[in-house]
A and B are shown apart, each in its own frame.
Chain A
Amino acid sequence: EVQLVESGGGLVQPGGSLRLSCAASGFTFSNYWMHWVRQAPGKGLVWVSRIKGDASSTTYADSVKGRFTISRDNAKNTLYLQMNSLRAEDTAVYYCARDPDQYSGGIWYSQFDYWGQGNLVTVSS
């Protein structure tokens, strides 16, 4: 059974740092792209970042570029999001998600087929 279990959220002051973790099980972690998606209270879903299975490629939303760092430890089957210089507008539930990047008809398709339970990050003084 595929499971993604997040940890590391909480309350942090503006300008502070926090590291989220996402422990994966039930699949070969290193074969999958992984993503972080966030959702501010009462708002919609916003894609944050992604990392390739072998960690050779990362991409970020402009809103977090230079402040957040996505990484992974394939030996520990764990995804991370290091968040620095946090702002009030970073307050959200953060989800990790698996991306099988399926190949069909000569085209690669990205999709988020399994999600973690979500982890609330609150940035406030």
Chain B
Amino acid sequence: DIQMTQSPSSLSASVGDRVTITCRASQRITSHLNWYQQKPGKAPELLISPTSTLQSGVPSRLSGSGSGTDFTLTISSLQPEDSATYYCQQSYSTPYTFGQGTKLEIK
């Protein structure tokens, strides 16, 4: 199975800050990398797939990049509504594994 490792596991940042979350795959997954946002008590929502393509309705302050084994999710100017847990997921091969999540808190 492909292991997905996110860092950091949690972070706290202020409104307006630039935030970067990293996701590393245990083997090459080309560009088969998705990002999801989950708020407490809610289902996850797809943000970016694959790698750098923003889904409809996702604000442009979010961006994704990477290829191979290393990927990043960047929020250019943090907003209060960005408080959530973020997960990366590889869709290169089954089982489609997720990272352990990054909990983002707004100071």
Contacts and interface: CB of A to CB of B under 8 A. Distances in A.
Contact of A110 (B31, B55, B91): B91
Interface in A58-74: 59, 61-62
Given A59-B94, A62-B95, A109-B91, A45 B44 contact: yes
B55 to A, nearest CB: 7
Nearest to B6: A44
B49 interface: yes
B98 A109 contact: no
Contacts of A118: 43
Contacts, number: 59
Contact of B98 (A46, A116, A117): A46
Nearest to A99: B91
Given A109-B32, A110-B32, A112-B34, A47 B95 contact: yes
Interface residues of A, number: 22
Give chain B's interface residue range (CB within 8 Å of chain A).
20 to 34
B38 to A, nearest CB: 8
Nearest to A112: B46
B64 interface: no
Interface in B34-53: 34, 36, 38, 43-46, 49-50
B50 A47 contact: no
Contacts of A107: 30-31
15 contacts: A44-B98, A45-B44, A46-B98, A50-B96, A95-B43, A109-B49, A109-B50, A109-B91, A111-B46, A111-B91, A112-B36, A112-B89, A113-B49, A113-B55, A116-B43
Interface of B: 30-32, 34, 36, 38, 43-46, 49-50, 55, 87, 89, 91, 94-101
